[in-house]
Structure 1
Amino acid sequence: MISEVDPELNEIAADLTRLYRDSIPVYDRVNRDTIEQNTRAVLSMVVAQLHSDSAHTSLDELAALARTWADQQIPLELVAHSIQLGARRIFGVIRERATTQALPATTIDEMQDLTWEWATAYAAAVHTVLQERAVAGATRRADFLRRLVDGGLSPTALTMEARNHHVNLHHSYLVACTAWDETAATSDLLAALRARCSTPDLPVIDAVLDMHLVALLPRTADGLLRSGPVGLGPAALPADVPSSYQHARRALEIATRYGRNGLVDLASLGPLPLLGLGDDAASMLAEQHLAPLLDSGAAGQEIATTVATFLDCDRRVDDTATKLYIHRNTVRNRLTRFGELTGLDIDRTDDLVLAWWLLNRDRAAAAQ
């Protein structure tokens, strides 16, 4: 019966090719002759295994073929399904002939089980190659992205690597950066970036570098929700990505320190980036204005917290009282006491800016 199937393999391969292209996404974008040749090769392996007197299944030949498919840009995750369809089609022919020859049903069932075991083993071999390629691809992508953001690619190397990773040297990309951990939330973020920030022609290029997820985004991710902060650098051509990456890391660092979430860039953080400037001047001013307040112990700390919250609430007394669970008159009394102890009148612009700067620097230092 197996010998009788041999002459029909070309016809079966052609039929299966039509089936694949009609029912499996992406196959309609792969050259028909290539699919048919690969399908014929798999069918030949199945028939050869059925011919064999040995129950041992050799997967080396299929693994080598799977690597060739990957080089031909055929999605390997779909190949396993096509192998099972092919085995089912071949066994359908064998079953018809076995039934015609009045073979016992138990024998036919045993043949079917064995065929399905082989198909499953073949599919597993393809998945192994898929994993192998994925790991190798991730390693190459991480190496490329690291050298790109570090500015370690020469113009010649950048041109070659950009082609390999589908990066358009004339397109402006945003750099996204966030802390990486093995959680569902971070995995969901990565999936959302890949889905929403790619274009029909340009994929998102991402890798985990030094425990940070770094992604090269062909377009922005407006409206992307994220419980933690994601730093964004300004749009830049690939040659200028190192500068964008530094902006993204800086935005992430500041947003993390001050509890900002979602997509953040330096511009969206308002005056927060200024808090890292002027350490010497800040120390001198803090000694002059905050020392009397902090020397007042717990009461002074309550006053500092109230004023900082008052500024966070855009100087709205009712919102501050609600947030701190205190009476609005208590808020007013503490604001007055703050002015008495520090000499800063937050109704004056200069003193308001200085108070905000000193209090937020103090909060950041306490959080570290």
Structure 2
Amino acid sequence: MDDDTSGRREREVAGRIASLIDDAEDEIDSMAAELTALYRERIPVYDLIARDEIERNTRAVLQIVLRQVRSDTPQINTTELTELARRWSTQQIPLELVAHSIQVGARLIAKIVRARATEQGMSPEVIDDLQDMMWHWATSYSAVINAVLQENAVSLAARRSTFVRRLVDGEFTPTSLPARLIEHGVQPEHHYRVVCADHDDPRFDSEVRATIRLRCGTRDLPVVDAVVDSYYVALLPSLPVDLELGALVAVGPAALPSDAGASYRRARHTLDIAARFDRAGLVDLAGLGALPLLAFDDDTARDLADVHLAPLRDRGEVGAEIIDTVAAFLRHDRRVDDTAAALFLHRNTVRNRVSRFGALTGLDLDRTDDLVLTWWILHRR
């Protein structure tokens, strides 16, 4: 079928629909009232919006669909709905529900069209053509809503990222902060814990982010999160004790939003240390044990390692075996049997290597200072 023939057939179908829907205006009000009652009953957020406002907007959608089917043309003008969707968005009306209402409204009007076509004795093939075109229009309008949704999502993500960055950097003045917090759903008097993760970490996927949002929000306070300079940063209203995550996520102490910067800095510091030692899951500074001690003074660590480990390094593979054995000995809290089992060695071999370590390095693992220093040097290694 060539383009002219296809276009002519589409216009014929559109014309039939227009002729069947001439007097449907009287039914718009009842359909809008019916849909409004349905939305308020089944969708909690609609309880927060005045009934008249929902009904007015629902009627506007139905009238757009009605004007389309009365237009006697298959061409779709999306400008009106785009502007209407943007206006609804500023009114905090969920556009996902608007898209749904278009589909429902189109089905209601299609039901009227089908019933009247049947009454007039139109063939099933013609009726199917009518319904197909109605569905095409409804789908096209839903696509407009989804495009505005995407437009809003990009804009919101940018605004949210700027807000979170400025909040943790302490850029808001005391007078401007409360309004900014409320704008983004943050309660000024509530204590939040700031979490931080490497957004480029392959383990940090959409499932991890969804888990944080689902488990760490409350009924009244959502998680506020954003990507800031390649880091995922989130303000958590609550933190379940049983929260398990498949990626490394560091958490700072609970703090008022005005002190979010301090919580963020602690989370970032914790993240850097935990990542260095290949930790995973949700971690806080206290949960890292003595590992934070290893984050200081690289030059001193290298110097001490050179002083104490040089005699072992000079012995090549034998020295390396002694170092690895002592490292395992410390990991197993100086338990000879556990160390031997982990390394598949005889207990006496472990004892011998630990003894030689002390003789060659001058570090006595029975002395507290030497024990701490040995642990620090070997873990830095």
TM-score (norm 1): 0.93
Contact 1:193 / 1:221 at 8 angstroms: preserved in 2?
no
Q: 1:212 to 1:323 in 2, by over 3 A?
A: farther
1:310 matched residue in structure 2: 329
CA distance in 2, matches of 1:28, 1:106: 43
Amino acid paired to 1:310? F
Partner of 1:53: 72
Q: Is the 8 A contact 2:218 2:238 kept in 1?
A: yes
- Aligned to 1:295, which of 306, 314, 322? 314
- 1:153 and 2:175 matched: no
Match in the other structure for 2:136: 117
| 2:266 counterpart residue number | 247
Structure 1 contact 228–261 (Cα < 8 Å) conserved: yes
Residue 335 of structure 1, aligned match among 354, 372, 375: 354
SS at match of 2:328: helix
- Which stretch shifts more, 25-34 or 72-81? 25-34
State the AA in 2 paired with 1:140.
R
**Amino acid of the structure 2 residue aligned with 1:96:** A
Q: Counterpart in 1 of 2:226?
A: 207
Q: Note the C-alpha offset of 1:186.
A: 2.2
Give me the CA root mean square deviation: 1.8
Secondary structure of the residue aligned to 2:226 is strand
Give the corresponding residue for 2:34.
15
Task: Find the aligned partners of 1:60 and 1:291 in 2 and give their Cα distance.
Answer: 76
Q: Shift of the alpha carbon at 1:23?
A: 4.0
CA–CA separation in structure 1 for the residues paired with 2:297 and 2:154: 45
Equivalent residue runs for 1:46-195 within 5 Å? 46-181=65-200, 183=202, 185-195=204-214
Distance in 1 of aligned mates of 2:321 and 2:175: 60
Supply the distance in 2 between the matched residues of 1:173 and 1:321 (Cα, whole angstroms): 46
Residue type of the partner of 2:169?
Answer: D
Report the CA distance between 1:219 and its aligned residue: 1.4
Consecutive unaligned residues of structure 2, counting only runs of 5 or more, are: 1-19
Distance of 2:202 and 2:81 partners within structure 1 = 35
Q: Is the 8 A contact 1:176 1:217 kept in 2?
A: yes
CA displacement at 1:138 relative to structure 2 = 0.5
| Partner SS, residue 102 of structure 1 | coil
Distance of 2:178 and 2:45 partners within structure 1: 28
CA deviation after TM superposition for structure 1 residue 320, in Å:
2.2
Name stretches of at least 5 consecutive residues in structure 1 with no aligned partner.
363-368
Q: Aligned AA for 2:368?
A: T
Aligned-partner Cα distance in 2 for 1:301–1:357: 17
**Greater mean deviation of Cα atoms: 198-207 or 278-287:** 278-287
Structure 1 segment 328-367 matched on structure 2, within 5 A: 328-362=347-381
